[in-house]
């Protein structure tokens, strides 16, 4: 495939490239704007004009340096073998394909997309969405040959983005609703996805009917459609095998495949818990369930939440601890749709263990929280620190309060530990890439009199 007419390089090596604000020419979508989306639709053959690229609103060359814009991408595809069920998976490939473009960064998915174009690539001539459209069209057609026709529309006109954003939300909701009601026990296979390994090399998503992918963009039905189209692709079948623990959600087949696909790093996965051998988190999760030791409960923070969570940390601070494709006890990347599942953190107590959630998220999933708990789970409007949280939980009789009593009674007498161990404790698995080799420290204990961090020149 040739990209000679594109002013910058295009290739897999640019996946994972981060564009910092100081190096940014323009930002599209992201947390500073309310309306943004990406959407793929399967259309009849006669409704798609192959290769057509449309730009509604200002093009890249018309934008002010360091400006931020509402943004939408609409990809319409047609082909005799295409089905509507494939839309979600095709849509997720936008993330991968745009990241192939040197100096273009694409993060997140659906209504949460966040793109940046670097100043360097703009100066090299990447000054029109025409180029981005050409790259998308060529990659889609070569990677998914059953796409016979494709047209791409970029929208930067704020009013048009807003209008189409509302339509996109309805389409996402209809996709998610299709899978509700199906149970993990009713199927013989789950699906795996390794699309995010360019950012998190040991991460493998396990997608089940009742555990939506972390990014919130791929359901079990989407996984099925993708693996049929491209069985050797990044989304593949996982034979469930023997169920080893129905509460934690451990399956022989899942362990085997995850071990293989993570290069032997992740040996076991418990699907329905945030502790122990919890599902890994790449960086694309829509939200994080995080442990709050002072109350022995879990808080939830989502990507859109602007302030500090009840434990004083922002989403990006919590996401930094969680992401990377390792298992970090008590820090668990999840999708919004998983919160609507009856299997949601079932081994930890499900909603009865959730002690704090942003108001906007609570509104989205309210109908799926057991009614007796809805008023017992505070938001940022009810409490702003852990002390207030404790008081709130006591006052409303949240179920975790019973756990405090049980914990007090079961507390063993304090054991003396060497001073350094007590101070540091074991670290989670730490992965680093050095000179082309992956170095993994498992259960590392690090002792140091001094830590010096120097910039490499």
- To the nearest whole angstrom, how small is the minimum distance from the Cβ of residue 112 to ligand SF4? 12
Check binding of 205 to ligand SF4 (CB under 6 A).
yes
User: 38 with 108: CB under 8 angstroms?
Assistant: no
Query: Judged by CB, which is closer to ligand SF4: 36, or 110?
Result: 110
Edge-first strand listing for the sheet containing 331-334: 331-334, 287-292, 297-302, 354-356
Contacting residue, 217, 269, 274, 292, with ligand SF4 by CB under 6 A? 217
- The residue whose two tokens read 């929208």 is 155
Output 219 or 346, the one with its CB closest to ligand SF4.
219
Residue 234 CB, shortest distance to ligand SF4, in Å, is: 7
Closer residue to ligand SF4 (CB): 53 or 287:
287
Task: Single out the residue of 92, 93, 353, 362 in contact with ligand SF4 (rule: CB under 6 A).
Answer: 92
As measured in angstroms, the least distance from the Cβ of 214 to ligand SF4 is 4
Q: Which of residues 271-310 bind ligand SF4 (CB under 6 A)?
A: 282, 284
Q: Which residues inside 160-199 make contact with ligand SF4, applying CB under 6 A?
A: 193, 195-196
Out of 8, 39, 115, 215, the residue judged to bind ligand SF4 by CB under 6 A = 215
Shortest distance (Å) from residue 58 CB to ligand SF4: 30
Examine residue 114 and tell whether it contacts ligand SF4 (CB under 6 A). no
In the complex, least distance from residue 122 CB atom to ligand SF4, rounded to whole angstroms: 27
Q: How many amino acids of this chain bind ligand SF4 (CB under 6 A)?
A: 12
Cβ 143 to ligand SF4, closest distance in Å?
15
Nearest Cα to Cα of residue 114 among 34, 11, 187: 34
> With contact defined as beta carbons under 8 Å apart, do 131 and 141 qualify?
no
Q: Which two tokens stand for residue 384?
A: 């702003």
- Report the distance separating Cα 185 and Cα 189, nearest Å: 10
Three-state DSSP state, 245 = strand
Burial grade of 48 (CB within 10 A; 0-12, 13-18, 19 or more): buried
Alpha helices in 274-358 (DSSP H): 315-322
Cα(56)–Cα(48) distance, integer angstroms: 17
DSSP state of 280: P
Task: Identify the residue among 213, 229, 334, 400 touching ligand SF4 (CB under 6 A).
Answer: 213
Whole-number minimum distance, CB 197 to ligand SF4, in Å? 7
Identify which of 279, 280, 284 has the alpha carbon closest to the alpha carbon of residue 303: 284
Question: Shortest distance, CB of residue 255 to ligand SF4, whole angstroms?
Answer: 18
Q: Please provide the size of the chain in residues.
A: 457
For ligand SF4, the closer of residues 211 and 390 by Cβ is 211
82 or 196, CB closer to ligand SF4? 196
The nearer residue to ligand SF4, 122 or 251, going by C-beta atoms, is 251
Measured from the CB of residue 370, what is the shortest distance to ligand SF4 in angstroms?
Answer: 28
48 versus 345: smaller Cβ distance to ligand SF4: 345
Is residue 107 within the footprint of ligand SF4 (CB under 6 A)? Answer: no
Part in contact with ligand SF4 (CB under 6 A); list of ranges 65-73, 130-138, 209-217, 355-363 = 209-217
Which structure tokens are listed for 184?
């993990």
By CB under 6 A, residue 218 contacts ligand SF4:
yes
- Least distance in Å: CB of 292 to ligand SF4? 25
**Tokens representing residue 268 in the block:** 């076991």
- Least Å from the CB of residue 205 to ligand SF4: 3
Q: Which helix (H) or strand (E) holds 75?
A: strand 71-78
Give the angle subtended at the CA of 270 by the CAs of 438 and 302, to the nearest 5°.
Answer: 80
Closest to ligand SF4 by CB, 214 vs 262, is 214
Interface with ligand SF4 includes 225 (CB under 6 A)?
no
Q: Give SS3 for 127.
A: coil
Tokens of 41: 């639709």
Nearest to ligand SF4 of 105, 126 (CB atom): 105
Nearer to ligand SF4, 215 or 292 (CB): 215
159 contacts: CB under 8 Å, gap ≥ 6: none
Choose the stretch contacting ligand SF4; rule: CB under 6 A; options: 162-170, 175-183, 214-222, 240-248.
214-222
Instruction: State the Cα–Cα distance between residues 159 and 162, nearest whole angstrom.
Output: 5
Alpha helices in 64-214 (DSSP H): 87-99, 119-123, 129-143, 158-179
CA angle, residues 15, 16, 21, in degrees to nearest 5 = 115
Helix residue ranges per DSSP H, 242-340: 252-261, 315-322
Contact residues toward ligand SF4 (CB under 6 A) are 92, 193, 195-196, 205, 213-215, 217-218, 282, 284
């Amino acid at each position: 495939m040739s990209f000679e007419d594109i002013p910058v390089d295009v290739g897999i090596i640019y996946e994972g490239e981060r564009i910092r604000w100081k190096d940014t020419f323009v930002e599209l979508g992201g947390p500073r704007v309310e309306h943004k989306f990406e959407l793929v639709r399967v259309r009849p053959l006669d409704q798609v004009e192959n290769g057509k690229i449309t730009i509604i609103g200002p093009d890249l060359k018309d934008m002010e340096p360091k400006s931020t814009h509402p943004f939408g991408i609409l990809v319409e595809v047609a082909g005799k073998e295409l089905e509507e069920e494939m839309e979600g998976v095709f849509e997720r490939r936008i993330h991968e394909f745009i990241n192939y473009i040197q100096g273009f960064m694409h993060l997140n998915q659906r209504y949460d997309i966040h793109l940046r174009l670097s100043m360097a690539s703009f100066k090299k001539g990447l000054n029109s969405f025409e180029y981005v459209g050409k790259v998308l069209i060529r990659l889609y057609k070569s990677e998914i040959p059953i796409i016979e026709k494709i047209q791409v529309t970029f929208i930067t006109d704020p009013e048009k983005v807003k209008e189409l954003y509302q339509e996109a939300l309805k389409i996402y909701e209809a996709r998610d609703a299709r899978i509700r009601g199906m149970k993990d026990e009713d199927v013989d296979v789950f699906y795996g996805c390794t699309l995010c390994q360019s950012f998190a090399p040991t991460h493998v998503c396990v997608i089940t009917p009742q555990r939506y992918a972390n990014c919130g963009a791929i359901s079990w039905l989407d996984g099925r459609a993708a693996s049929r189209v491209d069985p050797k692709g990044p989304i593949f079948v996982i034979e469930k095998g023997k169920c080893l623990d129905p509460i934690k959600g451990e399956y022989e087949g899942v362990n085997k495949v995850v071990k293989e696909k993570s290069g032997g790093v992740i040996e076991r996965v418990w699907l329905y818990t945030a502790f122990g051998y919890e599902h890994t988190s790449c960086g694309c999760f829509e939200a994080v369930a995080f442990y709050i030791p002072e109350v022995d409960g879990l808080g939830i923070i989502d990507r859109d939440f602007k302030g500090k969570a009840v434990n004083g940390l922002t989403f990006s601070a919590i996401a930094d601890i969680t992401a990377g494709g390792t298992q970090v006890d008590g820090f668990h990347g999840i999708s919004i749709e998983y919160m609507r599942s009856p299997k949601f953190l079932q081994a930890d107590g499900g909603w009865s263990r959730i002690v704090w959630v942003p108001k906007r998220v609570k509104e989205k999933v309210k109908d799926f929280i057991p009614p007796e708990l809805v008023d017992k789970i505070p938001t940022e409007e009810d409490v702003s620190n852990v002390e207030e949280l404790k008081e709130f939980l006591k006052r409303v009789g949240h179920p975790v309060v019973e756990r405090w009593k049980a914990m007090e009674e079961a507390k063993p007498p304090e054991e003396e530990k060497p001073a350094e161990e007590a101070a540091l404790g074991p670290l989670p698995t730490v992965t680093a890439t050095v000179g082309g080799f992956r170095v993994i420290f498992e259960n590392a204990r690090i002792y140091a009199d001094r830590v010096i961090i120097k910039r490499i020149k």
